A and B are shown apart, each in its own frame.
Chain A
Amino acid sequence: MVTDFTWMIGGPQGSGVETAANIFSQVFSKMGYQIFGKREYYSNIKGEHSYFAVRVSEKQIRSSVKGTNMLIAFDAETIFRHADDVLENGIIIYDSTLENVKVSDVITFDNDFKERLGNLLKSKNKEDTVKGILELASENGTSIHSVSFRSLLTELSEKLENPRIKNMSRMFNVLGVSLSLGLLMIPSEKLTESVNSTFSKKKSIAEMNVSAANFAYNYATAKFDNIGLKFEEKEIEENTLLVQGYYGTSIGKIIAGCRFQSYYPITPATDESNFLETNEILEINEDRPGSTLVIQTEDEISAIGMAIGSSLTGVRSATCTSGPGFVLMIECLSWAGINEVPVVITFYQRSGPSTGLPTRHGQDDLMCAINSGVGEFPRIVYASGSVSDSFYDTTQVFNYADIFQVPVIHMMDKFIASSVTTCQRFDETRVNIDRGKLLNEISSDNYRRFEHTEDGLSPRSKLGLENGIFWNTGDESDIQGHISEDPVNRVQMMDKRQSRLDYILEKIPESEQIVKHSEGDFCVVSWGSTQGPVLDAIEMLKNEGINIGFVEIKLLEPFPKELLKKSFSNSKTIIDIEANYTGQLGSLIRQNLEKDPDYYILKFTGRPMTCTELYHTLKKIVNGTAEKREVLTYGA
């Protein structure tokens, strides 16, 4: 019986790779399995190579592994790129008409890859064709299942007496996933159900795809040799969701009461705004419907400018962006800082510098989030490690923004954004809303927006509130908000704002600042989406009797220096794990703890870390055979 299995489908962008993977994920989640899927794609609309790897397991999984158990390919590029990634005893199902396609026929290959592939085939004395690479895979123990996708369509077309179907190569995706499910002997009704729900928007299309799915499924059960893999159906764990990575922040914003989101399109952040707009009308308990205004702006400057304007009216407002958009927001971020405006920036990182790898993963904007700005002002930088965490964290960052009257930058990334995973249903009863010192009524007429108070936080009025008139300015201001260049006032105002950093560290509960997942002499320190692969790798090591500690830092600015010291107190060796080149968290640790992490495990290929890579590297560290700086490179 199989307990952990990775399935991959690839194809040109626009060929429905994602749809096929969603069908696969749905089927397995409905069989009671846990899912972790990840999508990789080029910055391109149609034609470049994309693939989706879905890992299914009986137990909780939070990351991908190295290698694939089953590869589905209906184009040559997928075979060339991933055939050697198929694990021993793995399976390839491919379109037999591709057999004679040469490496040089694939126009979408990068030159570097073409050269590497050519060298590989040459060194193994294989011809430079699909056949060649499949021979190689076969020698490595992969079982190859070939079927002409085109013939399947022709047969189906004859069977249904519908000549149009013959040419519907856009159904190759559904054929591919269905063949694989047939081969895996998954109950066919699960496939039908999933295809139906995937195409539920149009009945005729759903029907056609169900026919195609069943046809391919039956073909596989009849024609393919039994491979002896058996997935048992299990009871679905109660309250399981199957979610896309950006659902956490999206649904978090809805329940947190975010009623205004302005954005400029950018990968991988835009999905969130789309989600909010799709769900713009909101159901409210015992009240008329509410709504989220989602405004697509002319640029990211306008996106944050509008969000700030909205916040001044008392609305919980946000914007959502990625690195190149965030840097455009800096002047407005600074303005929000000096004017103590609560606003949330959801920051889905991708890989830089500049446009960098625009559709690939990275965690290289931590320093940018912490340090970008004109002058000195308080802000919160907060990171989430998983889809589920990001839901709760989103509701919290709005509270932080309101309570501390600061802009909050919520760090997410492409790895989370384009993953698909099973998780526990988000628990609404854990969400609370704290608007801090926001006023709904002012009776006296001597209101002053920046009045000095004991905790440094002034009661906050909003545009439209009677007796609550205030002024804002990007200049230094007096307590009313009028421009002031007075040196004494300047010191008071700087103290008022900057003292908030200590106040934040004092008020945010420790468990929200740092999560200590486990203890050990060897202790991993990390932030954000590395959480999944780190936890999975630690579990693998634990099964071998090796205990590794894991400290996840969620609050990155202000930096919880003392708490981190305490968290490290039982550990001898600190291992910093991050998806960037320089080890940005490591530098924060050096700066705050005056201690360099003992090891760095870094990855900056634009592809997320796998638990397998981390497992091996951590083991090397434990065995004393690792370099101080270990760089991971796996992934196509």
Chain B
Amino acid sequence: MALKIGDYKTDVHNDWCPGCGDFGIVNSIQMALAEMEIPRHQTAIFSGIGCSGKTSHFINVFGVHTLHGRVLTFAQGAKISNPNLEIIAVGGDGDGLGIGAGHFVAAGRRNVDMTYIIFDNAVYGLTKGQASPTLKLGEKTKSLPTPNTNYNVNPIGLAIASGFTFAARGYSYDVRQLKDLIIAAVNHKGLAFVDVLQPCPTYNDINTKDWFSGVDRIDETTKKAMPRIYKLEDTDYDPVVHYSDETELNQKKTQAIVKSLEWDEKIPTGIFYKNELITPYTRRLTDKIPNYIENPSALQNISKNNVPITKINQILDSYKV
């Protein structure tokens, strides 16, 4: 029986604010899972803390709502132990790029084959609107007493610099594109990062849905709003690292970082960078442990009728007097 979107929804009451960008993201994840027909029990959503942290409760697959900033650690531990699982980690920008920044960087270095989606709204919503790592310097969102004194992190740039082998940006009100980006991220062989611009209707009164749609920028001739967002796939931008060559790699990385810095007038979405030439962590483990993929930790028997089956004779013999 084919799986439908409805199969991936739980009946848990969703208490996000009306108009929250998070709804679009959770819908996109459900749509992506349904389209890929991934069996529910082979999928796990790991989430961090904050509004986005509740995501795992709304999706009817294994859901592990972890701790602030720590989502990647739990998710990687599970994926490495059972590489047959499809794992999607989600969290806010404060979660992943503030308190979790160290784990973000370390995850890039490992390149574990899974997906990480950041719900990027530039504020800490659940604690009532403080500045998050992606808020621009000098901006003063609604509940800040004074303008932000920190420079912002560039999530795509940080991901690429850290070793993520896939970096994309979506927009939570473009569910169709976002769903496609999530599918591409899940299918990517390596650690895939999707930064989702997600207006917080309650606390971010600068980067609102209207702002992204360019309501403040009316084309004089057509009298229509000129959206800030445009799609990389509509341009001749090529994010893929095609061959293992330093020049190619550097060019694609640099291009992606420069592209990700476009803001204010034109904001690109889509895939910025994709490199499957870097070995995923699973392959690095296989180099040490030849049967790792067929017989990973989670599939190994450790006892028979409560008796251990691991042989330690050889080890003990080497310490025999």
A282→B82 contact, CB < 8 A: no
- Stretch from A99-107, A238-246, A579-587 that touches the partner: A238-246
Q: Could you say which of B197-205, B208-216, B299-307 contacts chain A?
A: B299-307
Smallest beta-carbon distance A602→chain B, Å: 34
Q: Specify which chain B residues have a CB less than 8 angstroms from the CB of A242 in the assembled complex.
A: 319, 321
Residues of A within 8 A of B313 (CB): 428
Instruction: Tell me, yes or no, whether B310 is within 8 Å of chain A by CB.
Output: yes
**CB-CB under 8 A for A282 and B298, given A306-B74, A308-B74, A472-B64:** no
A-B contact count (CB 8 A): 231
| Contact call B309/A287, Cβ cutoff below 8 A | yes
The distance from the CB of B305 to the nearest CB of chain A, in whole angstroms, is 9
Query: Using a Cβ–Cβ cut-off of 8 Å, how many residues does chain B contribute to the interface with A?
Result: 66
Determine whether A285 belongs to the interface, using a CB cutoff of 8 Å to chain B: yes
A306–B42 Cα gap in the complex (Å)?
19
Given the complex of chains A and B, what is the CA–CA distance between A207 and B239 in angstroms?
Answer: 58
Specify the chain A residue showing the minimal Cβ separation from B303: A433
**A301-B70, A434-B306 known; A317+B41 contact, CB < 8 A:** no
Q: Which of A213-270 contact B (CB under 8 A)?
A: 236, 239-243, 247, 251, 254-257, 259-260, 262
Cα A472 to Cα B46 with chains together (Å)? 9
Q: B250 near A: Cβ within 8 Å?
A: no
Among candidates A240, A297, A308, A311, residue contacting B320 with C-beta atoms closer than 8 Å: A240
- A224-B320 Cα distance, complex, nearest whole Å: 33
Asked if residues A314 and B298 are in contact (CB atoms below 8 Å), the reply is yes
CA distance A432 to B304 in the complex (A): 10
- Tell me, yes or no, whether A593 is within 8 Å of chain B by CB: no
Q: For the complex, is B103 an interface residue (Cβ under 8 Å from A)? A: yes
Q: What residues of B have a CB within 8 angstroms of the CB of A284 in the complex?
A: 300-301, 309-311
Complex CA–CA separation, A306 to B76 (angstroms): 6
Chain B, Cβ-Cβ closest to A240: B321
Q: How far is the CA of A433 from the CA of B306 in the complex (A)?
A: 5
Residues of A within 8 A of B60 (CB): 469
Assess A310 versus B77: contact at CB under 8 Å? Given A332-B70, A335-B67, A469-B61: yes
Interface string of B91-107 (1 = CB under 8 A from A): 00000000000110110
How far apart are the CA atoms of A188 and B81 in the complex, in Å? Answer: 50
Cβ–Cβ < 8 Å partners of B105 in chain A: 298
**Quick check: which of B153-161, B217-225, B285-293 contacts chain A, the rest being far away?**
B285-293
Interface residues of chain B: helix, strand, loop or mixed (majority): mixed
Question: Does A309 touch B at the CB level, under 8 Å?
Answer: yes
Is B77 a contact partner of A243 (Cβ separation < 8 A)? no
Would you call A313 and B298 a contact (CB within 8 A)?
Answer: yes
Instruction: State the Cβ distance, A419 to closest chain B Cβ, in Å.
Output: 14
> Is B188 interfacial (CB 8 A cutoff)?
no
Q: With both chains docked as a complex, state the minimum distance between the C-beta of A393 and any C-beta of chain B, in angstroms.
A: 15
B65 located at the interface, meaning its Cβ lies under 8 Å from any Cβ of chain A in the complex: yes
State the Cβ distance, B81 to closest chain A Cβ, in Å.
4
B80 at interface, CB cutoff 8 A: yes
Whether A291 contacts B77 by the Cβ 8 Å rule is no
| A259-B297, A259-B302 known, 18 other contacts, Cβ within 8 Å | A241-B320, A251-B312, A254-B312, A285-B304, A285-B311, A288-B294, A291-B289, A301-B103, A302-B102, A312-B77, A313-B81, A315-B297, A316-B302, A335-B67, A428-B312, A464-B62, A470-B63, A471-B57
A interface vs B, CB < 8 Å? 29-30, 236, 239-243, 247, 251, 254-257, 259-260, 262, 279-293, 295, 297-299, 301-302, 304-317, 331-332, 335, 395, 422, 425-426, 428, 431-435, 462-475, 481-483
